[in-house]
Amino acid sequence: MADSATAGKFHSEFLPELGHDLSKGRAAYFSVDLVHGTARMYATDDYLDVTPVLVGAGWHYRVPIPPVDNEQANALMRDLSTHAEILFNMVAIREEPLGVIHYGGSGTAIDVIQRKCAQSWRDHYALDR
């Protein structure tokens, strides 16, 4: 497994402009693949009661987000992408034992991502009222 800094250039995967891709599963997530440098949003019915191995190893970082439409999801992605890229650039992947080494600055990126995702939940519930 390559160190994240040498694995490739970071990129964000946006959802198609129209649609409700995040309402197709029971849980929606913002996810950063710290091995390959990809940020994406997805909905799933899998792993609702158990942590996926790659998340448990720290190789994938994910945060729950509300089941918003694709336009709102892409706006959140634009808001989070810079912080996700900082996180990707501030970690090293370990194979034995499985895990991630966090360098200075990664904690700040994680904190900003968590706060912005938490705000997306507050906004989502405010719109439902």
50 pLDDT band, cuts 50/70/90, is confident
Helix ranges, the chain (H)? 4-7, 53-56, 70-89, 106-128
Residues across the chain:
129
State the total domains in the chain.
1
pLDDT(39) > 90: yes
> Which pair of tokens denotes residue 13?
């995967």
Model pLDDT for residues 64-122, shown as the tens digit of each residue: 999 999 999 999 999 999 999 999 999 999 888 888 999 998 999 999 999 999 999 99
Looking at residue 53, its amino acid is V
Query: What pLDDT sits at residue 47?
Result: 66
Model pLDDT for residues 15-36, shown as the tens digit of each residue: 998 888 888 778 899 999 999 9
Radius of gyration for the alpha carbons in the chain, expressed in angstroms and rounded: 15
**Contact 38/94 with Cβ under 8 angstroms?**
no
Query: What pLDDT sits at residue 74?
Result: 95
Other C-beta atoms closer than 10 Å to the C-beta of 17 total 9
Query: What pLDDT sits at residue 21?
Result: 83
Query: What pLDDT sits at residue 31?
Result: 95
CA atoms within 13 A on the CB side of 8: 10
64: containing domain: 4-128
pTM summary value: 0.84
